[in-house]
Every structure is written in C-alpha cells, then in structure tokens.
Amino acid sequence: MFYKAQGIFEKRKLVRYSDEELLDKLKNLYEKHGKLNGMLINETRSMPSSAVYSNHFGSLLRAYELVGYTPERDMRYVEINNFIRSMHSDILKIVEEKTCKVGATFSQTNKYENILINNEIALSLVISRCRVFNNHARWIVKFERNKNPDFTVAIRLNSDNKTIHDYYVISRFDMEDLEAKLGEINGFLLDSYRYDNID
C-alpha cells in the first residue's frame, strides 16, 4: 500500500495542469460532494494534491473562492498563520541588523533553535495573535519553554493580525508573570516589560 501510494504521488507530480483544468477538476469535485477540503482533494485519485492548489493559487481558500465554494469553517486563520510565518522571518532579519549595528554578534543554527547574542544570551522570538471577544482584545503568549531561552521577545499583533501592536521582553525568571492572557490594559507590573518598538 505504501509503495502504491508513493507511485500515485509521483505520477501526480509529473502532470502539469492549466488554471482552467485545475479549477474544472475542483468544481466537479465540489458539485459531486457538496463540500471541499484538503483531505477530500488528496484522497481523490483523479485530483492533483491540495498542495498543487495552494502553490498555484496562493492558498486553498483562494482556489475555493474561484469555484464558488465558501467553507463553513472560517479559514482566514490559515492565511493569517502563513502571514505570521513570513513576518517572523522579517522580524528576525531586523533583530539581526540591529544587533550587529550595536557591535554584538547574532547567530542561529536553524529555525528550531534559539537566537544567540554574542554566543552567550539565548533569545526566543514569538508572535501573539490578537483575539477579539466582546470588543475586547486578548493575547496569549506561548513561550518556547522547551528551548529554555534567557529572554523571550513577545510581539503582539493588532486586531488585523498583520501589523505590530507592541513588544514585550521577558526574562526566563519572569515568564510566570505573563502566563495569564494579556489585555489592552495590564497594569504597571506587566507594562514594565512593554516596548513600543524593536529598538
């Protein structure tokens, strides 16, 4: 079964489809099942993989829109997650530039490791999405405890989840203070960790 599946995947890779062909296949699948999702696309032999649709049209959600399908579940979070991943890389570059500008060194073996400043201080960078409930913004900071960083730079996003609201710089000893959800107003103790910009 495994080798049979691998053969199907390899065969799919060799076929090149035009936009029209991709959308026709997706539309036919939608009309047949009355819904669309990644699993359904991947399990249908005559279909290209869901990854092909994502790469071809920018996202699965965009491909769905082009065939007139609106998922019952709000899929905007998928696009937000993709945007946040690219934002993380951009902020890393800014941190590297600013670190080197003040004469310090910046290194990171791979994206799963801490950033090392002067080969001594371990730094973690996390981005917290804004969630709005009853017109009140909330942020949950998810610390990368398994990395055991000396400091965490927590970036809070605005309600559009595309622009930066502010930054919190928290040492490993102060993580417990930010375990609770952050709101718009957090009091003097929590705001002592807060900064308006990355400088």
DSSP result, 136-175: EEEE-----GGG--SEEEEEEE-TTSSSEEEEEEEEGGGG
Which pLDDT belongs to residue 151?
Answer: 94
What pLDDT, in 10s, does the model give residues 117-167? 999 999 999 998 888 888 888 888 888 888 889 999 999 999 888 899 999
What percent of the chain shows pLDDT beyond 70? 90
pLDDT tops 70 at residue 179? no
Q: How far apart (Å, rounded) are the C-alpha atoms in residues 153 and 130?
A: 16
Confidence at 14, pLDDT banded by 50, 70, 90: low
pLDDT tops 70 at residue 13? no
Q: How far apart (Å, rounded) are the C-alpha atoms in residues 82 and 88?
A: 10
Q: Counting every residue, how long is the chain?
A: 199
Which pLDDT belongs to residue 196?
Answer: 94
What pLDDT, in 10s, does the model give residues 35-69? 888 888 888 888 888 888 888 888 888 899 899 98
Please choose, from the candidates 141, 106, 101, the residue with its C-alpha nearest in 3D space to the C-alpha of residue 123: 106
Please choose, from the candidates 93, 127, 120, the residue with its C-alpha nearest in 3D space to the C-alpha of residue 104: 120
Q: Which residue has the higher pLDDT, 34 or 178?
A: 34
Q: To the nearest whole number, what is the mean pLDDT of the chain?
A: 85
What pLDDT, in 10s, does the model give residues 180-193? 667 777 778 888 89
Q: Which residue has the higher pLDDT, 177 or 136?
A: 136
User: What is the rounded average pLDDT of the residues 72-101?
Assistant: 80
Q: How far apart (Å, rounded) are the C-alpha atoms in residues 67 and 28?
A: 9
User: What is the rounded average pLDDT of the residues 77-99?
Assistant: 83
Domains, the chain, in order of start with CATH, read 2-66 (no CATH), 76-195 (3.40.1350)
Which pLDDT belongs to residue 181?
Answer: 67
Which pLDDT belongs to residue 146?
Answer: 85
